[in-house]
Amino acid sequence: MRVQEKIIEGLLWLSAAITILVTVSIIWVLLSESIQFFSEVSILRFLTEKEWTPLFADKKFGIMPLVAGTFLTTAIAIAVALPIGLTIAIYLNEYAHARFKTIIKPLLEVLATIPTVVYGFFALTVVTPFLQSFIPGLAGFNALSAGIVMGVMIIPMISSLSEDAISAVPRSLREAAYGMGSTRLQTAFGVMVPAASSGILVSVILAISRAVGETMIVAIAAGQQPRLTLNPLVPIETITTYIVQVSMGDVPHGSLEYRTIFAAGMTLFVFTFLLNNLSFWIKKKYQEKYD
């Protein structure tokens, strides 16, 4: 009996330990291929060259254009999702009836369950033509419509995490604000939002991390032209799109071109890893402030 218990506990432990194995494998895969890549292309070139053309005859290996493309689409997405998501969170907490909240929250979550390839289709076939009707210089592939659609997708992420943060603020703070004669708006922005600021910040950081790693929307609607620009109207390429682009072609395994996707993947992993851990750190440092 005791032996059986021990075996079961061992098996359960093994299942949990697999998650560490996954992390180690990810880092090993990215590192081993990246190291081989950087033995042929210096890190200095990778970080400072202003063009990314590993698939052309004249090869340039500057990651900056891909980083710029990723930054651009992410910035647009956050510019859409943050004001809308935060306003929803405040509205649901300070203004809406509890019943309205229980109905609307799951509906908003639907936005997050739709496959990203579907959002990509939407960006390319609906949003871009619509924007072109009043932005004459807008190219068929562009960062703007991909970013906007990505922002819509991220709204529930910011709204529901921020809403949790705001509703965790003790009631007494809100009542004190009302007692001083504040309106709901003054209470929200003068008391509740500042008090929940660390939770809101965490939601934004996680949203940024999500947008940086998002693939199919940008692969479909933002183009495949690495370009060091912050112009949202022209085709660009993100890190994720580049990996997809190479995966769809037939680049031979073990070639320098093949390894570029791991160097690009490593860059992406470092960004999201830093963002995620920053959010954990903030959460840990500022949680239970009111307990």
Partner 1 sequence: MTNSEKNRLKDKAFQVFGIFCTFIGLVVLAIFLIDIVIEGIGRIDWDFLTSLPSRRAARAGILTAWAGTLWILVLSALIAFPLGIAAGIYLEEYAKKTKLSDFLEINIANLAGVPSIIYGLLGLELFVRFMHLGPVLLVGALTLSLLILPIVIVTTREAIKAVPRTIRDGSFALGASKWQTVWNQVLPASFGGILTGVILALSRAVGEAAPLIVIGALAYVPFVPKTPMDEFTVLPIQIFNWTSRPQAAFLTNAAAAIIVLLLITFLLNGIAVYLRHRQQKKIKW
277 binds partner 1 (CB under 8 A): yes
Applying CB under 8 A, the span of 41-49, 117-125, 167-175, 190-198 interacting with partner 1 comes to 117-125
Joined together, the tokens standing for residue 8 give 């079961």
Which residues make Cβ contacts (< 8 Å) with residue 220, sequence separation at least 6?
117, 120, 121, 123, 124, 146
Distance between CA 62 and CA 43 in Å, rounded? 9
- Written as six digits, the tokens of 155 are 């709204």
By CB under 8 A, residue 35 contacts partner 1: no
Residues in the chain, overall count: 291
Give the total of residues touching partner 1 (CB under 8 A). 82
Site for partner 1 in 76-105 (CB under 8 A): 83-84, 87-88, 90-92, 95-96, 104
- Rank residues 212 and 236 by Cβ distance to partner 1 and give the closer one: 212
Select from 199, 226, 232, 265 the one that contacts partner 1 (CB under 8 A): 265
Query: Under the criterion CB under 8 A, does residue 20 sit at the interface with partner 1?
Result: yes
Main-chain phi, psi angles of 61, to 5 degrees? -120, 40
Residues numbered 205 to 224 that lie near partner 1 (CB under 8 A) are 206, 209, 212-216, 219-220
For tokens 């112009």, the residue is 231
> Taking the complex as a whole, how short is the minimal distance between the CB of residue 139 and partner 1, in angstroms?
15
**Which positions from 169 through 188 interact with partner 1, judged by CB under 8 A?**
183-186, 188
Q: How far apart are CA 51 and CA 196, in angstroms?
A: 42
The nearer residue to partner 1, 19 or 133, going by C-beta atoms, is: 19
Binding residue (CB under 8 A) for partner 1 from 46, 61, 71, 269: 269
CA distance 39 to 163: 48
Q: Give the list of residues 6+ apart from residue 33 with CB closer than 8 angstroms, or none.
A: 259, 262, 263
- Least distance CB 58 / partner 1 (angstroms): 26
Identity of the amino acid at 33: E
Q: Which helix (H) or strand (E) holds 202?
A: helix 197-213
Among 16-24, 54-62, 164-172, 191-199, the segment contacting partner 1 (CB under 8 A): 16-24
CB of 199 to partner 1, least distance (A): 16
